[in-house]
Structure 1
């Protein structure tokens, strides 16, 4: 029995190593705090940026697309560059939560210091001082009135977060009437809301979605 236990431990060790292995590759920016690194979806640890469709207000009350602006700024700064990420955990969407660097520069630190993201205090205190410094200097988002990104997500979360964790595939119906399903990790998964009153629904498997007449999202 002891021998079998030791063998099981040895066989399981590579999986644990893979889970913690560094992720590296060119950066493709999804939004202000989410990147594709060499094909792996990565959520930057310790920071929170406005959602891509989030808006802010200037001190004069003018609404502007701050989420899209942040995404563009991050893309200009890091898009296409080589990054190395140290995985910390995996979130409920299957993304690798990691601390990333580009040529030795901590990406999260850089974004918070320049007012492009906020310290995500719920999970880390690493970038709190950087955020305070950016606020004092009215850097980036701190020059506007911006809703906390997590609060923004909560206000639009109805229909976006599965109630049954075994059924997380989103069966969406487009404006043109196309039935499209999204699986966790795809580009539009998080922003897709399910409205049962319009015929949209949750699926527990890809097979179930296809059998019901839904096709896979292209991205």
Structure 2
């Protein structure tokens, strides 16, 4: 199932638990609706371990998928900054589904991610419950 503007992709490379690269897209893609711990410059040690697990799980979901659907969506950035370093570090934003299920929902349900919803032009502080 694809949403409006969705594309079916065959080749996806996982950067970390909430960032991918997809063949045919020029920039990396920040997956929206959830946050996983950083694996590069982690905020805390617990985050590093969980971030590695989230990254491995996303790779597993993609490896075992029959279908992978990607929908590019607007990032929550100030007007005029979309596609620049001032907006999401130059990344695009997207929603990724594997076999019809949003990967963010899967990672959240498995305790590997936290819900993270942004407004249209800004995001709240990034949730990091694993660093308590």
* TM-aligned CA deviation for residue 96 of structure 1: 2.0
Match of 2:57 among 56, 73, 82: 73
Q: 1:47: how far off?
A: 0.6
Aligned length: 104
How does 1:62-141 map onto structure 2 within 5 Å?
Answer: 65-79=49-63, 81=65, 82-90=67-75, 92=87, 93-123=89-119
Describe the superposition over 1:113-164 as per-residue Cα deviations: whole angstroms up to 9, x where unpaired.
111111014449xxxxxxxxxxxxxxxxxxxx7128xxxxxxxxxxxxxxxx
List alignment gaps of at least 5 residues for structure 2.
76-81, 121-128
Residue 29 (structure 2) aligns with = 42
Structure having greater relative contact order (Cα 8 Å, sep ≥ 6): 2
Q: Is the 8 A contact 1:24 1:38 kept in 2?
A: no
Q: TM (normalized to structure 2)?
A: 0.63
RMSD: 2.9
Could you tell me how far 1:24 is from its partner in structure 2?
3.1
Higher helix share: 1
Partner of 1:56: 46
Larger Rg: 1 or 2?
1
Between the aligned partners of 1:46 and 1:84, the Cα distance in structure 2 is: 16
Q: Is the contact between residue 58 and residue 103 of structure 2 (CA under 8 Å) also seen in structure 1?
A: no
